Structures are given as C-alpha cells and as structure tokens.
Structure 1
C-alpha cells in the first residue's frame, strides 16, 4: 500500500454524477486538505438519472453536471471532467479504455479510485452495469494501456501524452474491502456533497440516516470504534 507521503495526485474514475460522493468523497476531502491534487473523471453525464420526466435527457445531463460540480466543490475538488458517454449503455470498450488512458496520462496520478468490476451479491446498489463496465475499463486503462507506450499510439503521436504507470488502485463497492478510511472529521462535507445531488435524493425518505448507518457499519468493521464513519475500498497494487 502506498504511504500517505507517496500520494500527490489522485484520479477518480466513476460512471455517473454522485458515484464518487457515495463511495469516496470523504477520502477526496481528506486528500484535498493535505494539498493533494484530486481530479474527478465521470464517464457519463447521468442523462438517464432522475425520477420524473420534467426534463429531457439533455436537460437532465446539464442539471447533473451542475450538481456534480457543486458536490466536488463541497470537498475541495475543482478539476471535474466528463467524457459524455450515454448513461445506462456503457461497455468496457477499447474506446472507453483509450479515453480513460488519455486522462491518466494527462493527470499522471499516483492513485486511481474506481468501481469494483465484479457484481456485489451482498448489496446490489454498487453493481449497476455502468459501474462494472467503468471499473473494468479503468483497470484495463491503468494496466496495461496507460503505461504501455505502444498502446493507443495516437495519444503519444498526436497529443504528446507520454506513458504513465499508476502504482495503486482503490476499488469501491466490492464484497471484500480491505482498506477503510476514517471520514468522521469530514462527514459534514461528504454529506453536503451528496445533498448537492437534489435530482437523485430529494425524494428518498431517511436518506441521511441510511447512508450514515452504512458508513458507521464500515467504521465498526475497520475497528475505528463507536461514533465513527468510514469509506471502504479494496486495494489493487499494480507493480
């Protein structure tokens, strides 16, 4: 596992607006507070989200981009990028791998945080097909694509993007987490980030209590003790 001092740039790669806030916004806030450069990359604009049809897909995408930008600011992240893939139709294609590898070579992160590519049979919410597709494509972009100068040669030839090796990946939403981050000190900012996604959570009764109970359970599993809250990840070394 990377030492804290070895993490200077972090890239999160997620499918939809709000995914990073459920899974890693507390960690992002802690990184940002230490002066770490944090970049959010979202594969879709969330155009198929929402729970009514007051907006068409284009209008929903615009709203959700704005919500994600606001959520990022709540935890100190200002670099938010969207690839514009269609919500609900993502596959781990060569095109997606190339697009993620491009951003990896641009950002040159020490750590990538993304979705677990496997289905979670204990808790289905993290297993949206887009999540699994993005997680798989992001792992492929980390290894071997971004580090291999012969992969997607147009990235180097036409865009001047040199190969980059990401030392470590943290996966969100899997069944076997082995690393927990105590986010108690930034819980208010994590909640503020999630509450920025009004289109997704305004209709959910007891939302705050439910998510806090989940984070408290992870803190208990981590051994942090009562009254603490945690985010959970599975660490993947890439050496």
Structure 2
C-alpha cells in the first residue's frame, strides 16, 4: 500500500513550495540539484536552509576560518542562482560543532511554520554507515521538526501550526522515487563545481566521474524498481547516457509508529 497515493498527495515534481535543509553549503546541490532545477521550471518556490557555516569543509588551509565561511556563503548564493533558489536562510551553527538535534528543532519548526511548504527535503540520516555527525543531526532534526510543525500544543512560542504533508530524503539507501534529470545533469555538475572551495582541486576529475556514474546507475535502477518521474520535456531518443536522482519520499504520517516505512 502506498499511503501517499491513498492520501492523494502530489508527487515530488508537483509541489509548489519546498524547503531544503542541508547540513553544509553544498549538500543540496550534490543530492538534488537536477530535481530542484526542474522544480523551478515548474514554478516551485525553493528555500535553502543551511545549518552549518561550512568552516571545515575544504582541502585548502585557511588561517582564519571566517574567511572560508565567507567564501562558502558566496559560493552557495551563486549555486542557488543557477538552480533558481528563492531564498536562503542560515542557522549559523559551527561546522562539526557541538550543537545538538534539540538545538535545531525549534528554529526549524519556526521556519516551516513561517514559510508553510508543501514538502521538506533533507539528507537521509538513516543511511547505513553515515559517520558525519552534521548529516545525522540535521537529518533527524529536520524530520522531527517537520513532524512537530503541525502540532497544536508544541512549540507554541514559534508560530502557528502548519502541517507539512511530505518529506523527501536525498543521499538515501532506501529510495522509492527517481527523477530523470538528464536534461539538467550538466547544470547539476555546474552547480556543484560552483563550490570551488570544495571541488576545484586535483580530485575533481575522479569526483565528477563518480557523480556521473552514480547518476547513471540511479537512473537505470530507478527505471527498474521505483516510481519514476521524468522531466516534462521528452529526452531525445538516441541519448546513450541518462541520469537520475533518487529520493525516499514519505508522507509525514510515516515518520511515527509506521514500521513499514522502510518498504514504502
């Protein structure tokens, strides 16, 4: 049983307002840039919420961490322009800092209630072997905040309740939805490379090859086993390489006491 279909919820490419919560300034591009650019074509309002300042995310040496924070902010804005991001919100926690999930929940609930999105998107914190604490904390806190945003009695000090129907996780090991991003794959790669402090180094040829191979594999697996949402424009026949992004899309009801959610 697909509870999202039972509830008659729109598919991922039909939502008109989405909030994408990322641990670091480049995570949304890596996980979902192609899909987000398609959403912008569909006139979706896109909000980026960046939880940490990214002060430790580079292979270069900076004597002053604030210098890298400023560089990463500018890179994030430029990448957002490529994807059509409507607004950016910064939580300004330290990259790799000692903040907790609880520290994040109330600010995220406030953002969700203020913007009132149709869907929230974030990194999947339940991905096996994920060792980065920022990814785990942000994913868990986002899911919890999305669930509590519609609660009538919790967090009354941060706005009026707004029920969010769905959540989408990228970087997931349990995908159920594949978006055909072939027309925008190169835009995705351009948006990723805009984060030059992360990717403009000798590793880029290998990293970019990995992203390309991963996207081709996700497309092929998605065609075989997932709900597949192609771009509205037909991809030209004869293209050898097609690329996908995969997500675990759940109704918010599946985030609490729903043992079968892993199979949804």
TM normalised by structure 1 equals: 0.90
- Alignment-derived partner of residue 158 in structure 1: none
Q: CA deviation at 1:226?
A: 5.0
Q: From the superposition, tell whether residues 75 and 44 of structure 1 become closer, same or farther in structure 2 (CA, over 3 Å).
A: same
Which residue matches 1:149? 152
Residue by residue, what CA displacement relative to the aligned partner does 1:128-155 show, whole Å, maximum 9, x if unpaired?
A: 2111110000010011x21113212211
Aligned residues of 2:14 and 2:42 also touching (Cα < 8 A): no
Counterpart in the other structure of 1:61? 69
Is the 8 Å Cα contact of residues 101 and 138 (structure 2) preserved in structure 1?
A: no
Over aligned residues, Cα RMSD in angstroms?
1.8
Runs of 4+ in 1 over 3 A off after TM superposition: none
2:124–2:170 Cα contact (<8 Å) kept? yes
Distance (Å, rounded) in 1 between the aligned partners of 2:212 and 2:248: 20
Task: Identify unmatched segments of 5+ residues in structure 1.
Answer: 156-160
Which residue, 115, 137, 144 being the options, matches 1:140?
A: 144
Post-superposition offset of 1:75: 1.0
Distance 1:129 1:54 in 2: 22
Which of 173, 176, 179 aligns to 1:178? It is 176
CA distance in 2, matches of 1:138, 1:91: 14
The number of equivalent residue pairs is 229
2:219 corresponds to: 219
Question: TM-score with structure 2 length normalisation?
Answer: 0.82
1:6 Cα offset (Å): 5.2
Query: Which segments of 5 or more consecutive residues in structure 2 lack a partner in the other structure?
Result: 225-238, 254-264
Whether the aligned pair in 2 keeps the contact of 1:90 and 1:129 (CA below 8 Å) is no
1:82 is matched with which residue?
90
* 1:190 maps to 2:197: no
